[in-house]
Structure 1
């Protein structure tokens, strides 16, 4: 399980995340989960971006194969199925509320932002709105913390245990070593 505080990300890790996203990273404070090869899979971000924008998504899924897998689940109507569990399975609903609270507590370690007070991500604690956010939280916090994120990961065509990176281990290379 990985929870804050995280070690500061290296320049190499930020470069990998920027390549994964296809844009420069913003407000990254740590690598919250990694691929089997060591590359970032989930980053944690400040609750207020450097430009002042409130940003509730503390755990942000960045790995292209993981994001594609969550998009596929969303496109195949898995979200309504998982949302129905909140109405029919008390254990899932209670676990999801606890996940929401844990998410807020993790983010609060990096500051409070009035505009997003009480707002976590992915629809928690009452809806299933974004599997990307829920899977990111599940990967960062570990199994058993976010039941909906865990279920989404179990259904996904991607696993953090199998590297599907374009450049495996790129974040682990020493950028000052020309042979790396």
Structure 2
């Protein structure tokens, strides 16, 4: 955290650069803080949209595959066609997993910057106190971070696809 804190603050800009009033400097820090919190919230919203996109895509594909497979003869489906379909579905699951990882990393960085900004604010309510109140996500009965849950969804879909295609191929 110290490294992030050093990266946040300009060495050349101090309270005295904002004139005699420290209030102007603190107001500027608070405005940057509010902007960072807003941007972290927007990343979370985009992450939810990405989850909705992938969940809708996979749900539609499962419905399509179920309808298609119920009308076709399983013996006529070639193993190569099954394998090609499986690889495409697994690629979508992999893309979903990496998208979630990227959003998680981006938000982690944003929350570190927010924590560094809170060092200069009267309270560390968002970054430190809230996280402490939630037990730092260590006990799932107190707080289960969404990132711990959502990263399993693409894995579950991929496992279901593997088992389904193995059943069809046998």
Same topology, TM > 0.5: no
Give the TM bin, normalised by the shorter chain: under 0.3
Q: Which has the higher strand share?
A: 1
More contact order relative to length (CA 8 Å, sep ≥ 6): 2
TM-score by length of 1: 0.26
Q: Which has the higher helix share?
A: 2
Give the greater-gyration-radius structure (CA).
2
